Amino acid sequence: MKPCDRYGIITAVPRFEKVLNDLEVIAEKLEGDQLELDKAVALYGQGMKLIVQAKKELSGAEKKVKQLFLDQGEIKETDFENAN
């Protein structure tokens, strides 16, 4: 069960935002000069995996985007790409 606030709104950090946060942490660590080479390479690899995950999240979100429009008093839902 996902954590909700008192109004029932889900308060968990969405996956995409978590991935971006994790990428930011990795970038900050890589920008420092205190890492050994093997640790830096491992962090770089983790970052690349997170980038792939972020791209998948964005692609999935893009497919789900819907545009609502008013048609003769009714609200209809259509794929974002077909909304012309």
d(CA 51, CA 24): 11
* DSSP tag of 2: -
Does this model's pTM top 0.85? My answer is no
Instruction: Please tell me the distance from the alpha carbon of residue 59 to that of residue 18, in angstroms, as a whole number.
Output: 16
Q: Is residue 1 part of a domain?
A: no
Q: Which two tokens stand for residue 56?
A: 């998948």
| Domains in the chain, number | 1
pLDDT averaged over every residue in the chain: 77
Looking at the domain assignment, is residue 56 inside a domain?
yes
* Cα dihedral 71/74/80/84 (nearest 10): 0
Q: Is residue 6 situated within a structural domain?
A: no
Q: Does a structural domain hold residue 2?
A: no
Give residue 42's domain range. 17-82
Q: Kindly report the length of the chain.
A: 84
Asked if 30 and 22 count as a contact pair (C-beta separation under 8 A), the reply is: no
Task: Report yes or no on 40 lying in a domain.
Answer: yes
Supply the pLDDT for residue 58: 84
pLDDT at 66 exceeding the cut of 60: no
In a domain, 9, yes or no: no
